[in-house]
Amino acid sequence: MDHKELKVWKNAIDSVTEIYKISSAFPKTEIYGLTEQLRRAAVSVPSNIAEGAARGSDKEFIHFLYISLGSLAEAETQIIIAKRLGYLGDNKEILNSLQTIRKMLTGLIKYLKNK
């Protein structure tokens, strides 16, 4: 399966771009803290989708999709923390985007399990 054809991968790439943009406004004191952690978690989502798709077996693909789900939850948590610290305004779009990606990932996992 070509990961670049998957809508969930495309959406995850879009979310990484958005997260890089919003995290660039974080305080410089967070460059090696919250900024870096959030960016790494965000990048991990499409990266693990791609790696899993390249593995060639549904079992391995599912494993990497679960890793993507974990990274997605991590990024969502870090965005909530950034909001509470006052680093982000009430940007609901990114959280909505992550929720959409979560639904797509869980749907893809269910599809692959029932194949």
Q: 2 — alpha (psi -120 to 50), left (phi > 0) or beta?
A: beta
Q: How far apart, in whole angstroms, are the C-alpha atoms of residue 98 and residue 9?
A: 12
DSSP of 56-114: SSHHHHHHHHHHHHHHHHHHHHHHHHHHHTTSS-S-HHHHHHHHHHHHHHHHHHHHHHT
What residues make up the domain containing 82? Answer: 3-113
| Run of H or E residues at 42 | helix 34-54
pLDDT value, residue 110: 98
- Residue 1's pLDDT is 78
Count: domains in the chain: 1
Q: What is the CATH number of the domain that holds 21?
A: 1.20.1440.60
Structure token digits, residue 57: 């077996």
pLDDT in tens, the chain (115 residues): 799 999 999 999 999 999 999 999 999 999 999 999 999 999 999 999 999 999 989 999 999 999 999 999 999 999 999 999 999 987 789 999 999 999 999 999 999 999 8
